[in-house]
Amino acid sequence: MTNGSGIEGERRPNLVRIIGASVREIPASPEVRKPKVSVFFDGDYLHHSLDRLGIKAGVNAFDFRTVLDILGEGKQIVEALYFTGISPTPYGQEAKNRFLIGLSKLGIGSFTIPSYKRDEDEVDPKDPVDHYIIQEMAMRYRKYDEAVLISGDGHFINIVRRLLEIPKKVTIVAADGDLHRGLRGSGAKIEDLLTFVPGTIPVKPVDEIQVS
């Protein structure tokens, strides 16, 4: 690799000329590396938590763009991913698809995972979504220095602990009354979901798209 002098491997210091003085050599400052962050949205958790808080879930209710701005301040967000289950009705899935298209305009990728019908004898329909998020957090761990998880579900306790052991930084964004005690005591940084809703931060209007 050349440095502009045509000599491979040679490093040249920055030269700063001081008026009325001779040339002074000052070593070049090393570039400051920004921590890399991956953001994982548990879409079903986010939707239901906002609903319990009396907030209509949608791009304009939860300001995704501002969320990424806040979470990425002084850092580099390398990816933001939104995970959700398939809607049980065609109309609901059509509305959800429009919502996901809206997220894609903000640079947020999405995964739609088949889920099970809620029944006493069947698996919790959120399990497939949570397990898929866990899988992606584990498979992508080399990409990031910090994982931000928007969820308070207890299914994530083990992956959060494993990431902290590597060590990676982990931030959990969850509703105060909807955060599993195992996550609260995991050692991860906890952010209140209400920090990211209208009334606490300015909303930047996006397309009028709502989650069904």
Give a yes or no: residue 210 inside a domain. Answer: no
- Cα angle 40, 46, 52; round to 5: 160
Owner of token pair 């990431």: 163
| Domains in the chain, number | 1
Give a yes or no: residue 12 inside a domain. Answer: no
- What residue numbers bound the domain in which 98 lies? 36-196
Give a yes or no: residue 105 inside a domain. Answer: yes
Model pLDDT for residues 20-61, shown as the tens digit of each residue: 444 445 555 566 789 999 999 999 999 888 888 777 655 456
Q: Among 25-29, 140-144, 162-166, which is the least confidently predicted range?
A: 25-29
Give a yes or no: residue 120 inside a domain. Answer: yes
Burial of 3 (0-12, 13-18, 19+ CB in 10 A): exposed
Centre a 10 Å sphere on the Cβ of residue 90 and count the other Cβ atoms it contains: 8
CA distance 203 to 89: 30
Q: What phi and psi, each to the nearest 5 degrees, are found at residue 32?
A: -80, 120
Specify the pTM: 0.74
Model pLDDT for residues 80-130, shown as the tens digit of each residue: 999 999 888 888 889 889 889 989 998 999 999 986 555 555 545 457 899
Q: What phi and psi, each to the nearest 5 degrees, are found at residue 137?
A: -60, -40
Give a yes or no: residue 11 inside a domain. Answer: no
CATH of the domain at 44: 3.40.50.1010
Give a yes or no: residue 144 inside a domain. Answer: yes
CA distance 175 to 66: 17
DSSP assigned state of 124: -
CA distance 161 to 189: 12
Owner of token pair 């920090």: 195
DSSP assigned state of 75: S
Give a yes or no: residue 123 inside a domain. Answer: yes
Give a yes or no: residue 212 inside a domain. Answer: no
User: Is residue 153 scored above 70 in pLDDT?
Assistant: yes
Contact 200, 54 (CB under 8 A): no
Contact 144, 168 (CB under 8 A): yes
